Amino acid sequence: MSTATIRIFLVHGDPKRLRTAELSNWTGKAVAGPRSEFEGVIGREESGSSGVYFLTGNDPESGKPALYVGEAENIKDRVKAHLEKDFWNQIVYFISKDENLTKAHIRYLEGNLIEQARRANRSLVMNGQSSGAKLPESDREDMKVFLEKINQLLPVLGIEMLVPTAGKAATDAEKEMLFCEIKNLKARGHLTPNGFLILKGSQAVLYERKSSQKYPWPLNMRQRLKDEGTLSVHEDHIVFTRDEEFSSPSAAAAVVHGGHANGLIAWKNKDGITLKEIEST
C-alpha cells in the first residue's frame, strides 16, 4: 500500500463514538460508530449517498467475530433493515464525496470485500452469496484504488477482519523463521504486526499439561482450534492444518506446549537463539 495521511474527526470527542475518517488526496470518506448511536450515524448527510458498509460484532451462537458487508444506493434506507439482526454492534460505511459511485461500482466493491473477508478467515462472514459486478477496465482500476483506501482505513477504525492472517511482516526481525520444539515435535512460525503466526504443518503435543486445568486458556484455545479443523489429532501428536495467528508468541507457544509457556524463550531461530535474545540485540 502507498503511504497516507489520515484525518479522523471525533464528533463527540470520544474515539469509541461517532467519528469520520478521510485520507489525503482521496475522494472517499468513512463514517463509523456504535449501534447504540445508530440514529446519529445514519442521521449524517453522508448516509444518503451510495456506498458500501460493514456491520461487525459477534455471532450469538458460536461467539466468533462476525461481519456483514453490504452495498446500497442509499445507505440510510438500506441499513435500517439490519436492525432486526442482533449480532452487530458497530457500523462503518464508505461513500465518495464527489458522488461518482454507481450501482455497478458498489456491487463490485461489495463482491471484492466479501471475498477478501472470507480469505482472511478472521470472522464469520454473515453474507450468503457474493454479488459483484463487471466493470470496464478503467472503472476496475479506479475501484482497485478505492478498495486499497478502504483497507487502509478499516483497521484504523477498529475493523481488522479483512486483514490477511499472514500479514506482511513490518521489519526484518519479524520475517525471521522461528521454531518451537518439545518432545521431538516442531512448530515453526514468525512474528507478524498482529502477534505471531504458526504455519501449516507445525506440530503440537497431544495432551495438555495438568496446569491447564488451573489456567485453562491453552486447553480452551486448543479445543476451539480442533473444533474449527485448524488442529488435526494424529496418533501421538497434533498438526496444524492451516496457518493460525495468535495475539503473542507466548499464546502461540502455549498451544504447542499444551500449557503456559514463555514465548520469548520457547521460540528460537535456526541457530538456537531465543526470541528474547533476538529482540535484545
In a domain, 193, yes or no: yes
Same domain, 118 and 208: no
In a domain, 163, yes or no: no
Q: What is the average pLDDT score of the chain?
A: 90
Same domain, 219 and 100: no
Same domain, 59 and 32: yes
Query: What's the mean pLDDT in 56-62?
Result: 86
pLDDT band at 269 (very low <50, low <70, confident <90, very high): very high
pLDDT number for residue 168: 47
Same domain, 92 and 11: yes
Same domain, 221 and 275: yes
Total number of residues shown for the chain: 281
Same domain, 97 and 178: no
Same domain, 214 and 147: no
* pLDDT of residue 171 exceeding 60: no
* pLDDT of residue 60 exceeding 60: yes
* pLDDT of residue 53 exceeding 80: yes
Find the domain containing 139 and state its range. 6-156
* pLDDT of residue 170 exceeding 60: no
Same domain, 245 and 181: yes
Domain boundary among 156, 189, 209: 156
Cβ atoms within 10 Å of 74's Cβ, excluding its own: 12
Query: What's the mean pLDDT in 33-51?
Result: 95
Cell representation of residue 179: 521454531
Query: What's the mean pLDDT in 19-33?
Result: 95
pTM: 0.71
Query: What's the mean pLDDT in 142-161?
Result: 93
Same domain, 181 and 245: yes
In a domain, 222, yes or no: yes
Percentage of the chain with pLDDT > 90?
70
pLDDT number for residue 7: 95
pLDDT band at 169 (very low <50, low <70, confident <90, very high): very low
Domain boundary among 130, 156, 182: 156
Same domain, 207 and 265: yes
In a domain, 34, yes or no: yes
In a domain, 164, yes or no: no
Nearest alpha carbon to residue 245 among 225, 229, 268 = 225
Same domain, 96 and 225: no
For the chain, the domain total comes to 2
Same domain, 49 and 122: yes
Domain boundary among 128, 156, 184: 156
Query: For the ranges 7-11, 20-24, 81-85, 211-215, which has the lowest average pLDDT?
Result: 211-215
Top pLDDT among 233 and 213 is at 233
